[in-house]
Amino acid sequence: MAAEQQDAFAKAAARNGHALVVVAGDVGRSPRMQYHALSLAEEGRAVTLVGYAGERCIDALVRHVCVREVRIAEPLRRFPGFLGRVYRLLALCFALGRALFKARRDHRASLVLCQTPPALPALFLCWLVARRDGAHVVADWHNLGHTVLADASLRRKGRLSFADRVAVGIYDFLERRSGRLLDRHLCVTHALKAWLSRNYGIHAEAAHDRPPSMFTSLSESERLAALARIGSIAFPSSSNDPFWRGRSLADASKDRPTIIASSTSWSADEDFDVLLDALIAYDKAHTQRLVVIVTGKGELRRRFEERYATLNLRHVRVATAWLSTKDYCCLLACADVGVSLHASTSGLDLPMKVVDMFGVGLPVLQLAFPCVSELVEDGVNGVLFEDAASLARELAKVSGRGDALQTLRAGAGLQERWGGMWARCVAPVVGPAFGSGE
């Protein structure tokens, strides 16, 4: 950190308080916590982001003089089985605990805001740091850690063994006990708020994800320039493919393909085989061209690419790409419709990618699951589907960009922004840490 930025940071901490925003994961891939950090910094607070090394944070955070980052290497599992999981947990305790105390060494914390899951050991470590500094500690519940653990074991083995059930039960107990230590709580849905109250005895404020101002529509010239740039990344060999008919992704003609956008962390809680099965069914029955661009990084991406490479789709082209934040925002603004295959492990959280889509007025085809209606209103700003067959039918309806899609687009654009939600729901929860009102 440059001397000028250090001085600005120190003045902000002395005058308006210091907040630690903590993610036991890659901070660069946790947009909600980044938005929290930026909102706090825009209030004049000094903010330290603590989490794993990895992707770059959004430009507004990187450039902000009141924000700094403390990154740690993600602990590796050096041994197989149960011993490996124990070692990784202990390594995380040491690394995250050390990073937290480093983050508040020069400026005591007024607020510790921690993402969960993972609840262990992050919630307890944040509570320890907060108690040391006399700070308020707030958990932001994105989901339930024990359901994530159970789902991962179930997908890996096809069933939950006795040992798995014991591990999930212990995690559930410690998650509940750790959560009760904290001062205040936020969560992402009303359904999760009700669950926490009923099962953990925790009162949380529901703060739905909302798109920040960087998600916005584009003019036609901006759109064509963005598509040309994104097309060169996603389809570098398109000139040799008769599908494109001698054109590129930046095609301004009425005959252009329908552009479908999706994003994913390529984890087991999103089954992208559903998308491929739907595209196979669509390709057999329809001739309107579709271009599908899926963004993100993760372990299942290669499996998806390998399966797609075996398909001989005539009217569909699919690309996987890792885009910068700017190009990701542009892709959503250029697309005709989005697809989300998020299926919550608990049925209590919502896909943030859909929030991004609504930020640019992009309607979405969303896999149905409990509580998703808190975000996607069927027939208003998107369409809910149940399986690959129903997704194929919905793709056929939106291909060609007809009146039905225009109606959905109008509904998708009616969205509150992050700043308004944060001032209404989050500021009253974190404000007491800095001596401001409830």
Bridge partners, residue 71, by sequence: 51
**Residues 190 and 262 placed together within one structural domain of the fold:** no
Categorise residue 241: left if φ over 0, alpha if ψ from -120 to 50, beta otherwise.
Answer: beta
Mark whether 274 and 187 lie in a shared domain.
Answer: no
Tokens of 158: 């096809």
d(CA 267, CA 342): 10
| Secondary structure (H, E, C), 48-98 | EEEEECCCCCCHHHHHCCCEEEEEECCCCCCCCHHHHHHHHHHHHHHHHHH
- Return the exposure string of 344-373: e unless at least 16 CB atoms fall within 10 Å of the residue's CB, then b: bbbbbbbbbbbbbbbbbbbbbbbbebebbe
Walk along the chain (438 residues) and give the pLDDT tens digit of each residue.
678 888 999 999 999 999 999 999 999 999 999 999 999 999 999 999 999 999 999 999 999 999 999 999 988 767 676 677 778 888 889 999 999 999 998 999 999 999 999 999 999 999 999 999 999 999 999 999 999 888 878 877 778 888 889 989 999 999 999 999 999 999 999 999 999 999 999 999 999 999 998 999 999 999 999 999 999 999 988 778 899 988 889 888 888 999 999 999 898 778 999 999 999 999 999 999 999 999 998 889 999 999 999 999 999 999 999 999 899 999 999 999 999 999 888 989 999 999 999 999 999 999 999 999 999 999 999 999 999 999 999 999 998 777 778 889 888 986 789 999 999 999 999 999 998 755
On whether residue 285 sits in a domain, the answer given is: yes
Q: What is the CATH number of the domain that holds 427?
A: 3.40.50.2000
Q: Which residues are CB-contacts of 234 (< 8 A; sequence separation ≥ 6)?
A: 249, 293, 319, 321
Looking at the DSSP bridge assignments, the partners of residue 369 are none
Length of the chain: 438
**Number of structural domains, the chain?**
2
Query: Over the chain, what HEC string results?
Result: CCHHHHHHHHHHHHHHCEEEEEEEEEHHHCHHHHHHHHHHHHCCCEEEEEEECCCCCCHHHHHCCCEEEEEECCCCCCCCHHHHHHHHHHHHHHHHHHHHHHHCCCCCCCEEEEEECCCCCHHHHHHHHHHHHCCEEEEEECCCHHHHHHHHHHHHHCCCCHHHHHHHHHHHHHHHHHHHHCCEEEECCHHHHHHHHHHHCCCCEECCCCCCCCCCCCCHHHHHHHHHHHHHHHCCCHHHCHHHCCCCCCCCCCCCCEEEEEECCCCCCECCHHHHHHHHHHHHHCCCCEEEEEECCCCCHHHHHHHHHCCCCCCEEEEEECCCHHHHHHHHHHCCEEEECECCCCCCCCCHHHHHHHHCCCCEEEECCCCHHHCCCECCCEEEECCHHHHHHHHHHHCCCCHHHHHHHHHHCCCCCHHHHHHHHHHHHHHHHHCCCC
Tokens of 331: 């892709």
Parent domain of 243: 220-415
For 154, phi then psi, to 5°, come to -65, -40
60/141 same-domain check: yes
> Are 311 and 361 within one domain?
yes
Q: What is the pLDDT of residue 437?
A: 56
Q: Which residue's entry shows tokens 């809680």?
A: 269
342 and 318 fall within a common domain: yes
In a domain, 133, yes or no: yes
Question: Do 288 and 315 reside in the same domain of the chain?
Answer: yes
Contacts 24+ apart (CB under 8 A), 77-85: 82/163
Bridge partners (DSSP) of residue 290 are: 258, 316
Please indicate, yes or no, if residue 215 is contained in any of the structural domains.
no
For residue 281, the tally of other CB atoms under 10 A from its CB is 17
Residue with the two structure tokens 């493919």: 241
Q: Could you tell me if 257 and 307 lie in one domain?
A: yes
Please calculate the CA angle 346-350-353 and round it to the nearest 5 degrees.
135
Please report whether residue 350 resides in a domain.
Answer: yes
Q: What would the two tokens of residue 93 be?
A: 């305790």
pTM: 0.92
Q: Cα separations (Å) of 96 from 22, 63, 221, 385?
A: 9, 25, 46, 40
Same domain assignment for residues 27 and 65 = yes
**C-alpha distances in Å from residue 28, one per residue of 33, 53, 424:** 9, 8, 25
Do 228 and 328 sit in the same domain of this protein? yes
For residues 426 and 409, state if they share a domain: no
Query: Are 362 and 256 in a shared domain?
Result: yes
Does residue 200 share a domain with residue 269? no
